[in-house]
């Protein structure tokens, strides 16, 4: 806080020193108050970044190997999940780009969702700082989720039975992938859910074998999505996080094969580099996974038969970014769509996946 400097000695003689003292004292008081806020926030943080039990989630029953459920190094809600976020029109997004030196450029990847006749794009450069967006699109309650560690994108229908939960970021990982939790009043009875298993893995919801429905969507370059859906809206940025949105904290991570957290099982021998992007189509009855590298080599559609050939017809490989677009109109009813790194999809779905375009 700036203290005003008197222009004349007479200012002090006329009692101006009282003003200076008052301003100085108020500055000290403000600094003390701000320190108390920061200290209070830290004291309220749940989870120490290392010990899973410090996050205070119910871990019984636990439906996954306990040694693969680990702390990410962040506290519970260390990344703020979005709840009923603001959506912009194309005109508003263009205005934001003009004001903020390209809020969104054609090559930026977005999760594109169509529900209830409405289309919306969720830029990954925003979602990497939130990981979960609790939204309603076309009257459908959805959770748009993204885990940068697995480059995994999944959109869920949020309705589970008679409830429509709001999900937060737990601060925990399973198989190096995002674990979300369903928020409950006072934190009592919150359950953990695996993004790539699509189900509750610990707590009361796990005891009742609760699952989430995976919805169709497409991860595309913004320029392609906008051309295909000129009526789309776009997840708006939070101006308080503009500095974070301008950074990519995972750029070096995708430059190597190194994994920072335990994953089991890993493919051996690996048909592709572990972080090869994959798009998987299917549902509870089974999945067909299409590695981007297989699609880039001419595509497997001509060699496939039956349902796999039908699914492949909905895919379009685009080498620019690169991306694989999914046309939901060409998918059989009830088909879910998931994007993930090869290692992550293999670890969680090796038992129920057919790999397309592989030997």
pLDDT in tens, 195-205: 999 999 999 99
Are 71 and 50 in contact by the 8 Å Cβ rule? The answer is yes
Other C-beta atoms lying within 10 Å of the C-beta of residue 113: 26
pTM: 0.86
Q: What is the mean pLDDT of residues 13-17?
A: 40
Q: What is the pLDDT of residues 276-292, one digit of tens each?
A: 999 999 999 999 999 99
Percent share of the chain, pLDDT over 90: 70
Give the range among 7-16, 217-226, 272-281, 343-352 with minimum mean pLDDT. Answer: 7-16
- When the pLDDT of each residue in the chain is averaged and rounded to a whole number, the result is 86
pLDDT at 35: 39
Are 181 and 170 in contact by the 8 Å Cβ rule? The answer is yes
Q: What is the mean pLDDT of residues 303-314?
A: 80
Q: What is the mean pLDDT of residues 54-59?
A: 96
Are 249 and 255 in contact by the 8 Å Cβ rule? The answer is no
Say how far apart CA 309 and CA 344 lie, in whole Å.
Answer: 24
Those residues with Cβ within 8 angstroms of residue 127's Cβ, 6 or more apart along the chain or in another chain:
111, 133, 144, 146, 235
pLDDT at 309: 82
Say how far apart CA 235 and CA 82 lie, in whole Å.
Answer: 10
Give the range among 114-128, 133-147, 282-296, 334-348 with minimum mean pLDDT. Answer: 282-296
- pLDDT of 15 above 50: no
Helices (H) and strands (E) in the chain — how many of each?
10, 21
Give the range among 63-72, 246-255, 291-300 with minimum mean pLDDT. Answer: 291-300
Say how far apart CA 310 and CA 320 lie, in whole Å.
Answer: 25
Say how far apart CA 215 and CA 335 lie, in whole Å.
Answer: 7
Instruction: Using pLDDT thresholds of 50, 70 and 90, give the confidence band for residue 41.
Output: very low
Q: What is the pLDDT of residues 157-180, one digit of tens each?
A: 998 878 899 999 999 999 999 999
Q: What is the mean pLDDT of residues 338-351?
A: 98
End-to-end CA distance of the chain: 68
């Amino acid at each position: 806080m700036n203290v005003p400097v008197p222009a004349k000695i007479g200012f002090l003689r006329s009692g101006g020193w009282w003003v200076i003292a008052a301003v100085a004292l108020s500055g000290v008081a403000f600094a003390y108050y701000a320190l108390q806020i920061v200290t209070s926030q830290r004291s309220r943080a749940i989870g120490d970044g290392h010990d899973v039990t410090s996050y205070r989630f119910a871990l019984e029953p636990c439906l996954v190997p306990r040694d693969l459920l680990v702390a990410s190094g962040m506290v519970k809600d260390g990344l703020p999940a979005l709840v009923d976020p603001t959506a912009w029109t194309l005109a508003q997004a263009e205005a934001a780009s003009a004001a903020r030196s390209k809020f969104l450029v054609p090559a930026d990847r977005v999760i594109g969702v169509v529900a209830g006749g409405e289309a919306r794009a969720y830029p990954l450069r925003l979602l990497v700082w939130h990981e979960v967006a609790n939204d309603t699109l076309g009257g459908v309650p959805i959770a748009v989720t993204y885990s940068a560690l697995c480059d995994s994108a999944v959109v869920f229908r949020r309705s589970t039975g008679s409830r429509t939960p709001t999900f937060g970021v737990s601060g925990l990982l399973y198989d190096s992938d995002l674990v979300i939790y369903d928020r409950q009043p006072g934190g009592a009875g919150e359950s953990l859910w695996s993004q790539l298993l699509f189900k509750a893995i610990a707590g009361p919801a796990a005891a009742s074998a609760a699952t989430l429905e995976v919805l169709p969507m497409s991860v595309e370059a913004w320029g392609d999505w906008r051309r295909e859906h000129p009526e789309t809206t776009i997840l708006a940025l939070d101006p308080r996080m503009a500095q974070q949105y301008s950074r990519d904290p995972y750029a070096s991570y995708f430059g190597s094969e190194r994994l920072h957290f335990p994953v089991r099982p890993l493919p051996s021998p690996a048909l592709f580099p572990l972080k090869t992007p994959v798009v998987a189509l299917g549902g509870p009855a089974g999945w067909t996974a299409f590695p981007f590298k297989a699609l880039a080599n001419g595509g497997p559609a001509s060699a496939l038969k039956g349902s796999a050939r039908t699914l492949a017809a909905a895919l379009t490989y685009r080498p620019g970014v690169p991306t694989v677009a999914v046309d939901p109109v060409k998918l059989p009813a009830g088909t879910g769509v998931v994007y993930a790194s090869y290692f992550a999809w293999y670890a969680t779905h090796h038992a129920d996946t057919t790999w397309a375009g592989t030997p």
